[in-house]
Structure 1
Amino acid sequence: MSFAYQVIRRPRRKTASISVQPDCSVQILVPSFLSDLKIEELVQRKSGWINSKISQFEEIRRNSGVKQYVSGECFTYLGKNYRLKVIPGVQEEYCAKLLHGRLQVYVPADTERKSQDQLVIRQLSAWYRQRAAVRLREKTQRYAARLLVAPVSVGIKEYKSRWGSCHTDGRIYYNWRIIAAPHSVIDYVVVHELCHLVHPDHSQRFWNLVGTILPDYAERKAWLKVNGGGLGVEF
């Protein structure tokens, strides 16, 4: 193992769980009766998953700086990093694509650097927005069925300081940039907004409802608070 971990014993807890925080700290939540040996066995068994989560958080933090719109730069989509590949040449349509594990964009040959950057940004922005619209509607439909609610409409917007909004008439909008976050975090934002259709506030009843769908919502919320500003899609 290449990580330290904190054991938290809780008398009312019946099962053990592992939590990797955005600061890469690891917490093991266990019932009071679970022996140290069993805890160690659990950590050993899950060490691959733990190291993978730690690497994911570290990678996101490393790539939260100023982006360069050139081949080799990293962009995050659904919590995973993809290298950008800028392909010069004549195309019928200049639009970004995710192919063979790379985000590919196309620019006319001999384009000046400033103009090339602008063209790459336009393609990436359009691609992220399109994927956000599709994925977020899919997730909203799935979780709405579980919550027995029905939003009037679902759309995407560009917000400065929020990840979503739920209007009193049933319209829900999401910040398209959330599509860069891991699935678990996107799910939290979707469930959060859908629960506002039932409780248009942040009362305990609201959070209890969120918890019925996502028992670990606090961890997902914490991830977003720490990493939300560094998703790397500021086009």
Structure 2
Amino acid sequence: MRVVDKERGQVKFGQRRIVFEVRRSSRRRTVGLQVDAERVLVAAPYRVRLETLEAFVLSKAPWIVEKQNEFAEMGLPFRRKFETGEPLLYLGRQYTLERLPEEEGPTVRLWGGTFQVWANKASTARKLLEVWYKDRALERIPERVEFYSQQLGWAPQAVYIRDQRSRWGSCNLKGELRFNWRLMMAPSPLLDYVVAHEVCHLLIFDHSPAFWRLLGKIMPDYEERRRRLALTGHQYEL
């Protein structure tokens, strides 16, 4: 089937804006709808007006939102462009990115409900934000390690903040703890779960029943926190 035209449209459903792509064909006789992780696609005959397609998409909005939410639950990454208006998380709260032109130099500031980033390039904005999150992690995570270490009476040899894409935290046989800086995007209870988990590994290095019993003593609701982190962890990414 030869595609002869392509355009975009959008509708508002509650507080949500649904942007869709239109692909037209002179051979198509009906309107079709496809939703995947990247886009909403409407296939339509050439003669159907955009206003009609907008009404069609709006009529399907509950189903579209449901499918988009399902893809989000699967942990599919959000392709960030570091443009004004994009959402950013800090300790579970959502903020809005405001990218501003550099004045005296690139910098970042959390101001009210906004991440203000002075950077001419998206790549610079990303680097600035990563440094900002790492600095916050260096401030907060060692404090939480100390809190849970005092409950167990066993302190680590060192605490490091690292860029660990495949794990939230780790503990080695030397008693060194390493944590992913992206934890600063997660709500505090989920950050604390990772910290308590790794602190318990200082005493029990495996995931035996004894390990989970120990974790349960200092964090009785660890199972719920663990489940929530598994469901939402894909959101904590730049």
TM-score, length of structure 1 as denominator length: 0.67
1:15 corresponds in structure 2 to: none
* One of 166, 171, 189 as aligned partner of 2:171: 166
Measure, in 2, the Cα distance between the counterparts of 1:122 and 1:162: 21
Where is the strand percentage greater, Structure 1 or Structure 2? 2
Where structure 2 has 5 or more consecutive residues not aligned to the other structure, the ranges are 1-68
Cα offset, 1:182, TM superposition: 0.6
- Counterpart-to-counterpart distance in 2, 1:183 and 1:66: 25
1:95 to partner: Cα distance: 2.2
Pair 1:71-2:76 in alignment = no
Specify which of 203, 207, 231 is matched with residue 202 of structure 1.
207
- Look up the equivalent residue of 1:72 and give its one-letter code: G
Give the total of aligned pairs. 166
Match runs of 1:182-221 below 5 Å = 182-221=187-226
Out of 106, 112, 116, the position equivalent to 2:118 is 106
Deviation per CA, 1:62-117: give whole Å up to 9, x if none: 996222211111011111111011122412x422121122111112xxx4xxxx11
Q: Which residue of 2 aligns with 1:140?
A: 145
Does the CA contact (< 8 Å) of 1:164 and 1:189 recur in 2? yes
Q: CA RMSD in A?
A: 1.8
Pairing partner for 1:85 from 98, 101, 107: 98
CA distance in 1, matches of 2:180, 2:131: 14
Runs of 4+ in 1 over 3 A off after TM superposition: 61-64
CA distance in 1, matches of 2:229, 2:211: 19
Residue type of the alignment partner of 2:88:
F
Partner amino acid for 1:213?
Answer: I
3-state SS of 2:107 partner: coil
The C-alpha deviation readout for 1:101-152, integer Å capped at 9, x for no partner, is 2111112xxx4xxxx1111111111111111121111111111111211101
In the alignment, structure 1 segments of 5+ residues that lack a partner are 1-57
Amino acid at match of 1:129: K
Percent of aligned pairs with the same amino acid: 37
Q: State the match for 1:53 in structure 2.
A: none
Larger Rg: 2
SS in 2 for 1:161: coil
**1:177 alignment partner in structure 2:** 182
Contact 1:69 1:117 in 2 (8 A): yes
For 1:69 and 1:197, the matched residues in 2 are separated by 39
Question: Greater RCO between the two (CA within 8 Å, min separation 6)?
Answer: 1
Q: Report whether the alignment pairs 1:155 with 2:160.
A: yes
Aligned to 2:58: none
TM-score (norm 2): 0.66
